[in-house]
Chain A
Amino acid sequence: MSARTSVKPTSIAETRGDRIFLLVVKLLLWLALIAVAVPLIYIVANSFSSASAVSGGRVLLWPVEPSLRAYQVAFGDPQIMQGYLNSFIYAAGGTLISVTLTIAIAYPLSRTTFFGRNVIMSFLLFTMLFSGGLIPTYLVVQDLGMLNTRWAMVIPSAIGVWQVIIARTFFRSTIPNELYEAATLDGASDLRFLWSVVLPLSKPVIAVIALMYAIFQWNSYFDALVYLKDPSLYPLQIVLRNVLILNSQTGSSQDLANQLDQQQLANVLKYALIVISTVPVLVIYPFVARHFTKGVMIGAVKG
Chain B
Amino acid sequence: MSGTIEVRPAPPAPVVERPAPSGRPRRTSRRTAARRSFRRHWQLYLLILVPVAYFVIFKYIPIANAVIAFKNYSPVKGPWGSDWVGFQNFELFFANPVFWTLLKNTFLLALYLVLASFPIPIILALALNEIRVGLFKKAVQLVTYAPYFISTVVVVSMTILVLSPRLGFVNDAIGLFGVPAIDFLGNPDYFRHIYVWSDVWQTTGYSAVIYLAALAGIDPALHESAKIDGASRIQRILHVDLPGILPTAVIILVLGVGNIMSIGFEKVFLLQNPLNLSQSEIIATYVYKTGLINADFSMATAIGLFNSVINLFLLLGVNFAAKRITGNGLWS
Contact = CB atoms under 8 A, between A and B. Distances in A.
A175 interface: no
B296 to A, nearest CB: 9
A283 to B, nearest CB: 11
A9 to B, nearest CB: 11
Contact of A237 (B40, B143, B153, B308): B153
B58 interface: yes
A285 interface: yes
Contacts of B1: 116, 119-120, 123
12 contacts: A22-B233, A29-B127, A40-B147, A115-B3, A115-B38, A132-B62, A136-B64, A136-B66, A191-B43, A245-B157, A270-B157, A302-B251
Tell me the interface secondary structure of chain A in the complex: helix
A199 to B, nearest CB: 13
Interface residues of A, number: 95
B158 A274 contact: yes
A133 interface: yes
Nearest to A109: B48
A14 to B, nearest CB: 8
Contacts of A131: 59, 62-63, 308
A113 B41 contact: yes
Nearest to A218: B151
Top-9 shortest CB links A-B: A132-B62, A133-B304, A219-B151, A136-B65, A105-B51, A136-B62, A244-B157, A108-B44, A115-B37
B54 A101 contact: yes
A278 interface: yes
Contacts, number: 279
Interface in B93-108: none
A137 B57 CA distance: 9
Nearest to A131: B308
Interface of B: 1, 3, 33-34, 37-38, 40-41, 43-45, 47-48, 50-52, 54-55, 57-66, 68, 79, 123-124, 127-128, 130-131, 136, 139-147, 149-154, 156-158, 160-162, 166-169, 172, 201, 204-206, 209-210, 213-214, 224, 227-228, 230, 232-234, 248, 251, 258, 265-266, 270, 273, 284, 287-288, 291-292, 297, 300-301, 304-305, 307-308, 311-312, 315
B139 A33 contact: yes
Given A10-B224, A140-B61, A120 B308 contact: no
A39 B232 contact: no
A115 B30 CA distance: 9
A130 B55 CA distance: 13
A60 interface: yes
Contact of A17 (B68, B232, B291): B232
Given A136-B66, A190-B41, A286 B142 contact: yes
Interface in A26-44: 26, 28-29, 32-33, 35-37, 39-40, 42-43
Nearest to A220: B151
Given A131-B59, A136-B65, A104 B50 contact: yes
Nearest to A20: B233
B232 A107 contact: no
Contact of B209 (A11, A282, A296): A296
Contacts of A37: 143
Contacts of A240: 151, 153-154, 157
A133 B154 contact: no
A27 to B, nearest CB: 10
Interface string A139-170: 11000100000000001101100000000000
A21 B304 contact: no
B153 A245 contact: yes
B301 A135 contact: yes
B144 A36 contact: yes
B157 A120 contact: no
Contacts of B139: 33
Contact of A136 (B55, B63, B258): B63
Contact of A108 (B48, B160, B172): B48
A281 interface: yes
Nearest to A61: B169
Interface in A87-132: 101-102, 104-105, 107-109, 111, 113-116, 119-120, 123-124, 127, 129-132
A189 interface: yes
Given A21-B232, A274-B157, 6 more contacts: A104-B50, A114-B41, A127-B60, A133-B66, A249-B273, A277-B153
Given A133-B301, A226-B292, A296-B213, A26 B144 contact: no
Nearest to A57: B167
- Most chain B Cβ neighbours within 10 Å, of A12, A32, A113, A220: A32
Contacts of A274: 154, 157-158, 161
A143 B88 CA distance: 26
